[in-house]
């Protein structure tokens, strides 16, 4: 605990000095709108405020051109990645969020982040833009997805090694995602985009969330990658790598569990398809959540990494963690888990599993309706 407090104090001291130094150079606070989400009752609005050079235009939503690699373009991409990662965040800054019919006043947290819950916003289902006005910064907009209350299915997907081939040691992932920003240098996992689009053909209004332990700083790069390779649009739920009250680094496992629980609370009528890989802890995280909330999980899909990918992921050629075969979500609650080397292999079995689970749900809903009518 003492070490984590020291880490927080050191991080805050460095950041305060950075903000003061940049302010003297003429830099000003800049608001970055992150993709939020919610229901027709409540909305999560996400953003961040950092110090920025006013002479440099904001490029968070810039789309990387698809085509032959240009050395100058690659260098520019890397420069933007470097600048995005080494930021001076503006903590405890007054902020006004305007979403639909509501106006909420708040402040950024110590990391410069904004995570505001806006209730009774009045926005209909679909994509919208909300306004974030931070003190001394130009107003910015953030996209938000309001999910239709009639939707009953959704997808939560991991990113690294699930939709994007990493083939790098975990220790180098941060540097790769930061400095090598050109999307043509990243390879999609074969068949995963097609798998997601296939699921959405049956459930076109289903939301897709991308849940990762990666830093918020790399979101612009990931957006470019997903657009280029045909992945469905959806909010990204990333994390901040800074020190916390419990450690020098934020727990990626707890981040994923917390975000999954938040989704299940926000959307109590949705059954989720949870997609991940067996290179780290996804099988255990997803199984634990499915055991806790079996009514909210339609199925678990796990991409099986090759032995070489396993070694790069954690140092051994086999998966490091698997649910107990006798005590898991399938054995206890009938929540199925399917596995495959890529999206094509998963697509051979997953659609039938989802159809069967949908029929089970309809049968259960009908039985509940009949029972309710019998009691009335």
Give yes or no: residues 96 and 186 share one domain: no
Give yes or no: residues 57 and 171 share one domain: no
User: What pLDDT sits at residue 114?
Assistant: 94
Give the distance between the most distant pair of CA atoms in the chain: 74
| Residue 146: partners with Cβ closer than 8 Å, 6 or more residues away | 37, 38, 39, 40, 43, 123, 124, 125, 126, 127, 128
Is the per-residue pLDDT at 367 higher than 60?
A: yes
Give yes or no: residues 174 and 296 share one domain: yes
pLDDT per residue as tens digits for the range 264-313: 999 999 999 999 999 888 999 999 999 999 999 999 999 999 888 787 77
What is the rounded distance in angstroms from the CA atom of residue 140 to the CA atom of residue 38? Answer: 19
User: What pLDDT sits at residue 5?
Assistant: 66
Give yes or no: residues 232 and 310 share one domain: yes
Among 41-50, 312-321, 367-376, which is the least confidently predicted range?
312-321
Q: Report if residue 374 sits inside a domain.
A: no
CB 215 within 8 A of CB 174: yes
User: What pLDDT sits at residue 60?
Assistant: 43
CATH number at residue 254: 3.40.50.1000
User: What pLDDT sits at residue 181?
Assistant: 47
Is the per-residue pLDDT at 119 higher than 70?
A: yes
Is the per-residue pLDDT at 183 higher than 70?
A: no
User: What pLDDT sits at residue 175?
Assistant: 57
Domain region containing 63: 2-146
Residue 361: pLDDT band with limits 50, 70, 90: confident
pLDDT per residue as tens digits for the range 130-167: 999 999 999 999 999 999 999 999 999 999 899 998 76
What is the rounded distance in angstroms from the CA atom of residue 260 to the CA atom of residue 283? Answer: 14
When comparing pLDDT for 61 and 35, which is higher? 35
Helix (H, G, I), strand (E, B) or coil at 212: strand
Identify the domain boundary among 146, 164, 183. 146
What is the rounded distance in angstroms from the CA atom of residue 135 to the CA atom of residue 116? Answer: 16
| Residue 251: partners with Cβ closer than 8 Å, 6 or more residues away | 244
Residue from 288, 287, 279 nearest 338 by CA? 287
What is the rounded distance in angstroms from the CA atom of residue 254 to the CA atom of residue 277? Answer: 17
Residue 169: pLDDT band with limits 50, 70, 90: low
User: What pLDDT sits at residue 277?
Assistant: 94
Distance set, CA 48 to CA 93, 116, 132, 226 (Å): 10, 11, 10, 22
Instruction: Look at the block and give the residue holding tokens 């027709």.
Output: 40
Q: Which residues pair with 131 in a beta bridge?
A: 98, 141
Please give the mean pLDDT across all residues of the chain.
Answer: 84
Give yes or no: residues 115 and 54 share one domain: yes
Tell me whether residue 374 is exposed, middle or buried, using C-beta atoms within 10 angstroms of its C-beta: 0 to 12, 13 to 18, 19 or more.
exposed
Identify the domain boundary among 111, 146, 181. 146
What is the rounded distance in angstroms from the CA atom of residue 188 to the CA atom of residue 166? Answer: 9
CB 316 within 8 A of CB 324: no
Q: Report if residue 376 sits inside a domain.
A: no
Q: How many domains does the chain have?
A: 2
Q: Report if residue 375 sits inside a domain.
A: no
Give yes or no: residues 119 and 244 share one domain: no
Residue 218: pLDDT band with limits 50, 70, 90: confident
What is the rounded distance in angstroms from the CA atom of residue 267 to the CA atom of residue 296? Answer: 9
Residue-wise over 93-131: b if at least 16 C-beta within 10 A, else e? bebebbbbebebebebeebbbbebebeebebeeeebebb
Q: Which residues pair with 44 in a beta bridge?
A: 37, 117
Is the per-residue pLDDT at 107 higher than 90?
A: yes
Is the per-residue pLDDT at 250 higher than 70?
A: no
What is the rounded distance in angstroms from the CA atom of residue 270 to the CA atom of residue 300? Answer: 14
- Name the token pair of 304: 């099986």
User: What pLDDT sits at residue 327?
Assistant: 86
CB 51 within 8 A of CB 27: yes
What is the rounded distance in angstroms from the CA atom of residue 298 to the CA atom of residue 271? Answer: 5
Residue from 323, 226, 310, 317 nearest 274 by CA? 323
Give yes or no: residues 127 and 265 share one domain: no
Give yes or no: residues 162 and 292 share one domain: yes
- Name the token pair of 298: 């339609």
Phi first, then psi: give them for residue 138, nearest 5 degrees: -65, 145
Identify the domain boundary among 146, 161, 178. 146
Please tell me what DSSP assigns to residue 62: P
């Amino acid at each position: 605990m003492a070490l984590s407090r020291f880490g927080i104090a050191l991080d805050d001291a460095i950041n305060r000095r950075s903000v003061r130094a940049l302010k003297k150079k003429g830099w000003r606070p800049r608001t970055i709108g992150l993709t939020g989400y919610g229901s027709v009752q409540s909305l999560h609005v996400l953003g961040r405020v950092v110090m920025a050079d006013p002479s440099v235009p904001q490029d968070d939503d810039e789309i990387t051109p698809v085509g032959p690699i240009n050395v100058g373009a690659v260098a520019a991409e890397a420069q933007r990645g470097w600048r995005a990662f080494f930021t001076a965040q503006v903590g405890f800054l007054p902020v006004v969020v305007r979403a639909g019919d509501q106006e909420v006043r708040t402040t950024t947290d110590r990391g410069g982040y904004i995570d505001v819950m806006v209730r009774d916003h009045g926005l209909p289902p679909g994509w919208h833009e909300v306004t974030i006005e931070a003190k001394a910064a130009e107003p910015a907009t953030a996209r938000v997805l309001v999910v239709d209350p009639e939707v009953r299915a959704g997808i939560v997907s991991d990113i690294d090694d699930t939709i994007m081939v990493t083939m790098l040691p975990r220790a180098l992932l941060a540097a790769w995602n930061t400095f090598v920003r050109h999307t043509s240098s990243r390879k999609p996992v074969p068949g995963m985009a097609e798998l997601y689009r296939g699921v959405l053909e049956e459930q076109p209004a289903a939301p897709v969330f991308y849940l990762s332990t990666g830093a918020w700083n790399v979101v612009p790069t990931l957006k470019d990658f997903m657009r280029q390779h045909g992945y469905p649009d959806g909010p990204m739920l990333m994390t901040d790598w800074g020190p916390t009250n419990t450690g020098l680094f934020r727990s990626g496992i707890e981040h994923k569990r917390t975000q999954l629980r938040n989704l299940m609370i926000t959307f109590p009528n949705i059954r989720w398809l949870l997609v991940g890989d067996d290179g780290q802890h996804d099988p255990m995280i997803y199984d634990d959540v499915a055991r806790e909330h079996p009514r909210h999980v339609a199925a678990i899909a796990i991409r099986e990494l090759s032995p070489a990918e396993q070694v790069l992921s954690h140092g051994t050629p086999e998966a490091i963690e698997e649910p107990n075969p006798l005590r898991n979500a399938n054995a206890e609650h009938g929540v199925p888990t399917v596995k495959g080397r890529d999206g094509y292999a998963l697509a051979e079995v997953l659609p039938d599993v989802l159809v069967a689970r949908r029929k089970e749900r309809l049968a259960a809903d009908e039985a509940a309706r009949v029972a309710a009518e019998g009691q009335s």
